[in-house]
Structure 1
Amino acid sequence: MTSTTPPEIARKVEAYIPRFQLTRLLNQDQAGRRISLLGTIDSQPALLVAERAAFATDHAHLSTFPTSLTKIKNLGANDIYAWFLANTNTNGSGSDSSSEVPPDFKLNLIYPCTEKHIKKYSAQPTRSVTETPEIYANYVRPWIQRQREKGALNWIFNILEGRSEQEDIIYRETGEQGFLLAPDLNWDRKTLSSLHLLALVERRDIWSVRDLNKGKTEWVKHMREQLLAATVKLYPEIERDQLKLYVHYQPTYHHFHIHIIHMALESGATQAVGKALGLENIISQLETMAGDPDAGFQDVSLTYGIGEQSELWEKVFGVLKRGDEVDVEKF
């Protein structure tokens, strides 16, 4: 970025930064990517806000990015997914410094990845769709069934069946109504203001919020209570009213799970309206829903956003918008 500041003024203000003397941290936000510092420069009060710069997006820089990383430390691995912390090797030497430097990056690796992963992480226009009970029953549920048959849930079953990540489990109840709590792979496992945990249910007949009905209300309330209690017990610096519990619809993986995050974690696409449904609101809807114990979210219309490259848009909602017939056999 080219500066329009006169050279003499630029030199003057650039010299301020090395003279900044820290007093205290005022704030840390955007999941730790921006900090606000109070300090002094030449005995005068100063406020310094530091934010990690945007990535260079030209091919030359991106092609050398993986080899520029040092001190790569694996945090976990499960099926095709692995996640790491790493430092930037700014001098290109690859040598480790004798001083302990905090990691610059939290990395997620999907290997080998699928076409579905590629579409999910690609920039694409988003559409708002309304999924009626009829659309869900006739098209979306058969599509979900096909996704489950493709083995996309292997990483979840690895955890539930004790083949991976057992040392990370924070809390667990077993049985038909059992569930477990563990760190989400997107959390660095140390920055409490960006805390992100994931609760997985043991039973496999609940694919999403669509499978919750009035008869399951007390179970959902029990999970909420135990998840909150387990989280604040392990992280006593956090209080219950600093936590947010929600589920996604549509979820990326169709095995019912609950996200537990710190309220300070800034909202992104995964917490957007129409994507994240607050657990408290879900419980309230179940409690006030008319009908017998079988009445539930399969009986309501849900509006949410999906990308134009997603299978659900390409094979269901885009087809319906054109007025064509959805071919369930092609799922």
Structure 2
Amino acid sequence: MSDAKATAEVLVPRFKFERLLNQDQAGRRTSLCGSIDAQPALLILERAPFPSSVDYLSAAPASLRTLKNLGANDIYHWYLASSGEINLPGSSGGDDDANDFADLKINLIYPCTDKHIRKYSKQGVRLVTETPAIYRDHVRPYIQAQREAGRLNWAFNIIEGRKEAEDVIYRTPYGQDPEEGFLLLPDLNWDRKTLDALHLLGLVERRDIWSLRDLRKKHVPWLRHIKTKFLEATTNVYPTIEPDQLKLYVHYQPTYYHFHIHIVHVALEAGATQATGKAVGLESIIEQLALMQGDDEAGMDALSLCYTLGEASDLWVDVFEPLKKEEMKRKEKNGPVSPPQ
């Protein structure tokens, strides 16, 4: 090892912590202020990518020091875990310390299906345009088939209070008013501790709205009301958060076809789930519906929507890829279109 490298590597252990400056990327990067040998220093700690070594990945699940279940419903489970020894001044090394300093958030789907495997596999992404006709003739029947296949049983278990009752952070009395009823629970990707990374799901009781495609002008008062209720409930449960620190959006396509709204802290860095082509702001939906021409039945099913799809997804394989191939064949048959003179 060179002298310069050796000198550099002894600096970090001599860092004396003074105060926390910032945490970002949902707590995966931390900026610390301190000193080294009485000189001011900044230390930025960031989670490194997981090694791709087969030996490491094979051993990792069995080598966890602690594992605490946060919740489970049907085939979905999520945990906090500690990947190594905890050796802190004043630490007893017990379970309480392990829970306080867990460094892994783990999701488990067991038993999983081929669809789950395709969803989480690395794959190409396509931007598609779903016209009203494509929605009516192809996507709507697909959504209906998903619902009829029992894919929403786990969600109904939560809504009806049969599962995850201890995880629901707020709910209206079930069945008292199906159009007004809703509940809030933590998204399975939130660690339930880092408020700047807060991510909640708001599930409504009513079952007539499958996705944003079912929203109509007549739903505008209800959407405004439910937005207010979601904000009030969230800030009541987490009083250090103010309403203007929260944003609400829905996914299209959603992961499951029962209307739900995502409530996240504005400081949560936008990843793929908040990106254009996936997330649609609730306020934008409300304004679009309010300004839409037509009577109260005019709705989002009359619009063309653009969004992204993985190449392994059912909608790409069964709907949009065949439509693309048909369009390409049609263009080849008709020949190139001459530009206007």
Q: Per the shorter chain, which TM-score range?
A: over 0.9
Partner residue, 2:237: 234
State the one-letter code of the partner of 1:232: T
Per-residue deviation, 1:175: 2.1
Counterpart contact for 2:105–2:191, Cα < 8 Å: yes
Matched, 1:179 2:185: no
Q: What is the TM-score normalised by the length of structure 2?
A: 0.89
Matched, 1:24 2:19: yes
Determine the C-alpha separation between the residues in 1 that align with 2:279 and 2:287: 15
Determine the C-alpha separation between the residues in 2 that align with 1:70 and 1:20: 27
Determine the C-alpha separation between the residues in 2 that align with 1:105 and 1:59: 19
Partner residue, 2:80: 85
State the one-letter code of the partner of 1:47: L
Determine the C-alpha separation between the residues in 2 that align with 1:211 and 1:295: 10
C-alpha distance after superposition, 1:169-203 (max 9, x if no partner) = 23323423121111111111111011010001111
Determine the C-alpha separation between the residues in 1 that align with 2:49 and 2:168: 34
Q: What is the TM-score normalised by the length of structure 1?
A: 0.92
Q: After alignment, is 196-205 or 161-170 more displaced?
A: 161-170
Partner residue, 1:327: none
Partner residue, 2:291: 288
Corresponding residue SS for 2:268: coil
State the one-letter code of the partner of 1:85: L
State the one-letter code of the partner of 2:82: N
Per-residue deviation, 1:90: 5.7
Aligned 1:68-107 pairs, distance under 5 A: 68-89=63-84, 97-98=93-94, 100-101=97-98, 102-107=101-106
State the one-letter code of the partner of 2:207: R
State the one-letter code of the partner of 2:229: Q
Matched, 1:160 2:159: yes
Partner residue, 1:329: none
Determine the C-alpha separation between the residues in 2 that align with 1:235 and 1:90: 32
Determine the C-alpha separation between the residues in 1 that align with 2:206 and 2:226: 13
Determine the C-alpha separation between the residues in 2 that align with 1:143 and 1:288: 29
Per-residue deviation, 1:15: 1.2
C-alpha distance after superposition, 1:237-258 (max 9, x if no partner) = 1111111110000001011100
State the one-letter code of the partner of 2:232: A
Matched, 1:243 2:246: yes
Partner residue, 2:310: 307
State the one-letter code of the partner of 1:175: D
Counterpart contact for 1:68–1:90, Cα < 8 Å: no
Partner residue, 1:37: 32
Determine the C-alpha separation between the residues in 1 that align with 2:234 and 2:207: 24
Counterpart contact for 2:129–2:307, Cα < 8 Å: yes
Identity value in percent = 60
Determine the C-alpha separation between the residues in 1 that align with 2:241 and 2:178: 30
State the one-letter code of the partner of 2:163: S
Per-residue deviation, 1:303: 0.2
Question: Which consecutive residues of structure 2, in runs of 5 or more, have no partner in the other structure?
Answer: 87-91, 328-341
Partner residue, 2:2: 7
Determine the C-alpha separation between the residues in 1 that align with 2:113 and 2:35: 51
Aligned 1:66-215 pairs, distance under 5 A: 66-89=61-84, 97-98=93-94, 100-101=97-98, 102-173=101-172, 174-177=176-179, 178-215=181-218
Determine the C-alpha separation between the residues in 2 that align with 1:175 and 1:69: 45
Determine the C-alpha separation between the residues in 2 that align with 1:21 and 1:155: 49
Partner residue, 2:47: 52
Counterpart contact for 2:216–2:298, Cα < 8 Å: yes
Matched, 1:64 2:56: no
Counterpart contact for 2:68–2:79, Cα < 8 Å: yes
Partner residue, 2:337: none
Partner residue, 1:266: 269
Quote the RMSD (CA, aligned, Å).
Answer: 1.5
Determine the C-alpha separation between the residues in 2 that align with 1:97 and 1:13: 31
Determine the C-alpha separation between the residues in 2 that align with 1:208 and 1:63: 39
